[in-house]
Structure 1
Amino acid sequence: MFPNRYRTPNMLPIVALCLSTTAIGQVMNQVEHTSARELASQLQVGDAVFIRVSALPFQKVASATQSWTNHVGVVIDISGREPIIGESTFPLSKTTPLSHFLERSEGGRIEVSRLNTPLTPQQKIAVMRAAQKRLGIFYDTGFDLHSKQQFCSRYVREVLDEATGTQVGQVETFSTLLARNPKTDLTFWRVWYLGNIPWQRETVTPASLLQSSKLHRVFDGYASVDAAAQGNRRVSWKA
């Protein structure tokens, strides 16, 4: 690599550094990067779409579940200018164009997972109908699986279950969930629950959906929103 007159012991660290930098660059290049438009062409009705929202409570959810993701929606329509995501978010559950959904994710981080068994045309229609039934429901800041309200992972789990009979994600109590991560910021959660964490409350998290064996990964990486996609953010959807 170098002529003999340049080969000195002092150059070995430099050579090693160059090789390590190259290796790091190769790993970084392996991370998937795409545009919202290209990603849209890969999506199907029923896909679970995971992002990372920067708001503090969502960051605490990610930390408590030891996962990068803290929010999830489900693709409910791909017939328009861009895919439509059904989601439970504050203050009400709603439908959101993919580009707008993606813009809320830190750095454009996104992962798409799909049920292992392909959906039939009838099941895809059922996904849209199940999502429509859950529009306009208040967000449950208590993350209670059995409340009359909604939160993101419960919403996606229920839509897919109702439409396909497949349950994704693990139902668990707060006690089980928080005990798995000794570094959980319990001070935050005590304040969040006004001093009394509901330890026996059942919930389901975005992380548990992401890890479900009934889903497989379709895309995992970063997607950018171009100007054309931003112009389509006001797409409306009706079942």
Structure 2
Amino acid sequence: MKKLSAVSLLLCLMLGCAQADESPSPAPNPTESIKRLDEALAVGDVVFIHVAPLPFRKVSEATQSWVNHVGIVTDVSGAEPVIAESAFPFSRTTVLSRFVARSKGGRVAVARLGQGLSETQRQALVRASERRMGILYDTGFNLKSRREFCSRFVREVLIDATGIAVGEPESFRTLLARNPDTRLGFWRVWYFGNIPWDRQTVTPASLYHSDKLQRVFDGFAS
């Protein structure tokens, strides 16, 4: 892989890079219209997609999963559900159609806590997401930084609102050792030659596979 400068990598993060997508190919799944998906969503639903920028494709490669970005539903009272997300350059809200439009081929999965949310928990979830709006994106994917990244954002919002932790924190060493075929060249450049092996992080794939969440849709939105 051609090495990129730090500036080029940040441009990739914002705009995407014209390279072949190295993530696992999506398996055949059902297709649903955005409108039908709209009608099925509830506050607290976790929405997974696959976005194009190079760093996120490398996350897919390292975690051996099509999932590389995640947000959480905070409002279903308007014309479209609203997704709260940590994204570059800062955390924000996005309507569902725009969120899904960023996903390759419209691939999307929706999961929710098995017991659902009470009205009190829904209100707490909205407040938890609002407290995290406008926080700068953490390009170091550090679970203990003052910034945010997508899977940490969703995990912490759910913890604040319900006390339930989805996804498993792990060190970069553990994460990358699980897939020995991961090409480390990108990550060495990304971390200026020094991968923080003992840094704790949490990945979108970890949330996707959490036994605390039940998938209610996993397919393509048209």
Q: What range describes the TM-score normalised by the shorter chain of this pair?
A: 0.7 to 0.9
| Structure 1 runs (4+) greater than 6 angstroms displaced | none
2:78 to 51, 68, 80: 80
1:164 aligned residue: 162
The letter of the residue matching 2:109 is: E
2:20 aligned residue: none
Displacement after TM superposition at 1:175 (Å): 0.2
1:131 to 129, 134, 142: 129
1:70 aligned residue: 68
Q: Can you list the C-alpha shifts for 1:191-231, whole angstroms capped at 9, x where unaligned?
A: 0000000000000000000000000010000002xxxxxxx
2:88 to 87, 90, 99: 90
Please tell me whether residue 173 in structure 1 is matched to residue 166 in structure 2. no
Query: Which residues of structure 2 form unaligned runs of 5+?
Result: 1-26
The letter of the residue matching 2:133 is: L
1:229 aligned residue: none
Number of equivalences: 196
The letter of the residue matching 2:38 is: A
Displacement after TM superposition at 1:35 (Å): 1.1
2:204 aligned residue: 206
Partner Cα separation in structure 2 for residue 175 and residue 117 of structure 1: 34
Displacement after TM superposition at 1:45 (Å): 0.5
* RMSD, aligned CA: 0.9
Question: What TM-score results when the alignment is normalised by the length of structure 1?
Answer: 0.81
1:12 aligned residue: none
Q: Can you list the C-alpha shifts for 1:24-82, whole angstroms capped at 9, x where unaligned?
A: xxx95xx2101111101110100110000011110000000010010000000000000
Partner Cα separation in structure 2 for residue 121 and residue 32 of structure 1: 31
2:31 aligned residue: 33
Query: Which residues of structure 1 form unaligned runs of 5+?
Result: 1-26, 225-239
The letter of the residue matching 1:153 is: S
Q: Can you list the C-alpha shifts for 1:133-188, whole angstroms capped at 9, x where unaligned?
A: 00000000000000000000000000000000000000000000000001111000
SS for the counterpart of 1:156 is: helix
2:22 aligned residue: none
2:187 aligned residue: 189
The letter of the residue matching 2:151 is: S
The letter of the residue matching 2:164 is: T
Please tell me whether residue 51 in structure 1 is matched to residue 35 in structure 2. no
